Amino acid sequence: MNYLWAFMILTGIVYAAFHGTLPAITDAAIDSAKEAVTLCIAMTGVMSFWVGLMKIAENSGMIAGLSRKMEPLLRFLFPRLPKEHIANKYIATNMIANMFGLGWAATPAGLKAMEALEELNVEECAKRGRTKKRAPDIATDEMCTFLIVNISSLQLIPVNIIAYRGQYGSVNPAAIVGPALLATSCSTLAAIIFCKIKERFRRE
């Protein structure tokens, strides 16, 4: 990816040099840098607000309550994951954060969930032994399912996109809520169907 971006930038500079538009590139670079800093400041405020709310929800027990409400869904998505395993908490927290469009807040919980799933995989490999389909360096069905569901990311309130639209002068930044909900619902449904089909073929 770095090589691709470097190639595109160099191509633009060379093209501008031959057509006498280098000053325009300089102005665009300065303006883009200014916009990037402004956007970062705006997003820092938005994310601080929502991440703070998530922390309050966690400390007040709201996240734990929502996690318990999500147990049937977790059992459906991860039928072989032990009910009391710590990975359930991290997976639920990640999914809740993603539902509110808090990708940055969801990432730490997602990493913790993957670490917990990997520890479980190592423990099971130690008990049952290594096979062609199970080893510490082979992703389990639970890990693959979590990764795909996390990527598809059902979003009830796409906070990041709303913030971007507001930063760039959208008349109605929240108008994206409906289309985003529809699109992410379809992507999440497709992800779940795909995972269940793969699990069935793997068992067979």
pLDDT of amino acid 169: 80
pLDDT of amino acid 132: 59
SS3 101: coil
pLDDT of amino acid 203: 65
Close Cβ partners of 119 (under 8 Å, ≥ 6 residues apart)? none
The Cα–Cα gap between 119 and 127 comes to: 13
pLDDT of amino acid 179: 87
For the chain, residues with pLDDT lower than 50 are none
Is the model's pTM score more than 0.85? Answer: no
Q: What is the DSSP letter of 181?
A: H
For residues 54 and 105, the answer to whether their CB atoms sit within 8 Å is: yes
pLDDT of amino acid 133: 63
Burial 94-119 (b: 16+ CB within 10 A, else e): bbbbbbbbbbebbeebbebbbebbbe
pLDDT of amino acid 130: 66
